[in-house]
């Protein structure tokens, strides 16, 4: 009886671990989809640097926002009638500064909200998983790169 209860407990722990792991992976996929939308290249950190990988992933999420802000700062002093070019889904379009600035501001605000929420949820789930590992004395033998 005792060995069956221990086996059941181990199975429950493994099931919970897999649930946490799949939740983190789905959040990471959502973050990746947003990154792809902003036409960023995937980041590939050196192997066996999990903390550095996580930190860089979060830092990378803010890169599109800084690019939007840089473009907005560059366009701010220009006259509204000046012609500029914008790449939309791989097509270069000719617009005026007055047409592009509101679109960039809207995109930047939307990205900031979406990425902020995803990063907050990702960090929360990550902390929850770490606390669960400590609570249940779980040691991962091999973590994927």
Q: Buried b vs exposed e over 39-71: b needs ≥16 C-beta within 10 Å?
A: eeeeeeeeeeeeeebeeebeebbeebbebbeeb
Top mean-pLDDT range of 2-11, 36-45, 49-58, 89-98: 89-98
Look up residue 62 and give its two tokens: 């803010």
Alpha carbons 97 and 76: distance in angstroms, whole number:
9
Does 141 reside within a domain? no
Dump pLDDT digits (tens) for 69-126: 888 888 889 999 999 888 888 889 999 999 989 988 898 888 888 888 888 888 888 8
**Average pLDDT score over the chain:** 78
Alpha carbons 145 and 142: distance in angstroms, whole number:
9
Domain that holds residue 76: 2-42+49-135
Does 17 reside within a domain? yes
Of residues 42 and 57, more confidence is placed in: 57
Closest CA to 33 of 115, 125, 126: 115
Does 143 reside within a domain? no
Three-state secondary-structure class, residue 141: coil
Three-state secondary-structure class, residue 91: strand
Count of the separate structural domains present in the chain: 1
Look up residue 1 and give its two tokens: 């009886």
Which residues have CB under 8 Å from 93's CB, separation 6+?
Answer: 85, 86, 87
Alpha carbons 104 and 44: distance in angstroms, whole number:
28
Does 145 reside within a domain? no
Residue 12 has a CB neighbour count (10 Å cut-off) of 11
Q: Is the per-residue pLDDT at 39 higher than 70?
A: no
Look at residue 82 in the predicted model and tell me its pLDDT: 93
CATH number of the domain enclosing 9: 1.10.287
Does 124 reside within a domain? yes
Q: In the 8-state DSSP scheme, what is residue 81?
A: T
């Amino acid at each position: 009886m005792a060995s069956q209860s221990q086996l059941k407990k181990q199975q429950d722990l493994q099931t919970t671990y897999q649930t946490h792991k799949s939740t983190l992976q789905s959040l990471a996929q959502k973050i990746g989809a947003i990154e792809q939308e902003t036409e960023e290249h995937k980041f590939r950190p050196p192997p066996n640097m999990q903390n550095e990988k996580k930190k860089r992933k979060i830092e990378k999420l803010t890169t599109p926002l800084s690019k939007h802000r840089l473009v907005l700062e560059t366009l701010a002093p220009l006259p509204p009638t000046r012609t500029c070019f914008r790449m939309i889904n791989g097509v270069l379009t000719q617009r005026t500064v007055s047409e592009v600035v509101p679109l960039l501001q809207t995109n930047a605000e939307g990205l900031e909200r979406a990425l902020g929420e995803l990063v907050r949820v990702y960090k929360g789930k990550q902390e929850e998983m770490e606390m669960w590992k400590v609570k249940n004395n779980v040691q991962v033998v091999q973590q994927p790169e």
